[in-house]
């Protein structure tokens, strides 16, 4: 029987999940150490000019499995201000509850993907707060990827699908959100792509700080 992903459990049944929370925190800490070790090992093999500590946008799924740390700087479709804290706070609270995810997780992904810029566009075409590729957004029913609520709704829905697919394994779900499920499946874990390793490590670090 497929077990309920812990992040869904924590949001929906907090009184029944205290033991699971401790197990998850221990598991995430262990996986974070493993991801960080893998990340450093891969980065050590790259030329110095190809190393970049943080990549801002999601890897397009159609690209071959190669290092992408030298991608062009992020672009914006239009100049815009970050979504105001009170507005994004209300959106995150509502959508995290409806999708059975923790608000901290959604915030960490949004911060990493777009730093709360609703008009953000990557060089590869990922759009909006949670950097959805156009085909992914369409498949999730997102009509306007630059609408904050619609984009977060679609991104949260997709993230929940990935958590279900990987049986609640947060590092695998995050890796799939960044690099695509096919790459995670092919690698049998977090794929050895420098950007993806940085992405997973960065978000797990954000969650540890909250």
Query: Catalytic one among 25, 63, 94, 113?
Result: 113
pLDDT, tens digit (0-9, with 9 covering 90-100), for 136-168: 999 999 999 999 999 999 999 999 999 999 999
Mean pLDDT of the region 96-113? 96
* Lookup result for tokens 């077990």: 3
**Burial bucket for residue 155 (CB in 10 Å: 0-12, 13-18, 19+):** buried
Contacts of 181 (CB under 8 A, 6+ apart): 162, 165
Global pTM value: 0.69
Please give the helix or strand (H or E) that residue 120 lies within, else none: strand 120-121
Is 25 catalytic? The answer is no
Instruction: Return d(Cα 23, Cα 8) in angstroms, integer.
Output: 15
DSSP three-state, residue 121: strand
Q: 41 vs 5, which has greater pLDDT?
A: 41
Asked if pLDDT for residue 206 goes beyond 70, the answer is yes
80 within 8 A of 118, measured Cβ to Cβ: yes
Asked if pLDDT for residue 104 goes beyond 60, the answer is yes
Query: How far, in whole angstroms, is CA 43 from its chain's centroid?
Result: 20
CB atoms within 10 A of CB 66: 9
Instruction: Return d(Cα 48, Cα 122) in angstroms, integer.
Output: 24
Architecture of the domain spanning 6-209: Orthogonal Bundle (1.10)
Average pLDDT of the chain, as a whole number: 77
Q: Where are the domains of the chain?
A: 6-209
* Band of residue 209 on the pLDDT scale cut at 50, 70, 90: confident
């Amino acid at each position: 029987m497929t077990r309920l992903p812990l992040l869904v459990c924590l949001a929906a049944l907090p009184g029944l999940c205290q033991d699971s929370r401790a197990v998850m925190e221990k598991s995430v800490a262990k996986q974070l150490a493993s991801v960080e070790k893998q990340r450093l090992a891969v980065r050590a093999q790259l030329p110095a000019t190809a190393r970049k500590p943080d990549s801002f946008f999601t890897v397009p799924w159609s690209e071959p499995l190669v290092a992408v740390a030298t991608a062009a700087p992020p672009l914006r479709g239009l100049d815009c201000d970050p979504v105001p804290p009170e507005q994004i706070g209300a959106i995150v609270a509502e959508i995290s509850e409806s999708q059975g995810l923790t608000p901290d997780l959604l915030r960490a992904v949004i911060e990493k993907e777009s730093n709360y810029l609703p008009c953000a566009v990557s060089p590869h075409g990922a759009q909006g707060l949670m950097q959805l590729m156009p085909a992914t957004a369409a498949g999730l029913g997102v009509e306007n990827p630059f609408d904050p609520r619609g984009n977060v709704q679609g991104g949260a829905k997709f993230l929940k699908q990935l958590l279900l697919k990987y049986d609640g394994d947060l590092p695998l779900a995050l890796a799939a959100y960044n690099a695509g499920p096919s790459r995670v499946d092919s690698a049998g874990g977090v794929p050895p792509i420098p950007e993806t390793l940085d992405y997973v490590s960065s978000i797990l670090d954000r969650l540890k700080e909250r």
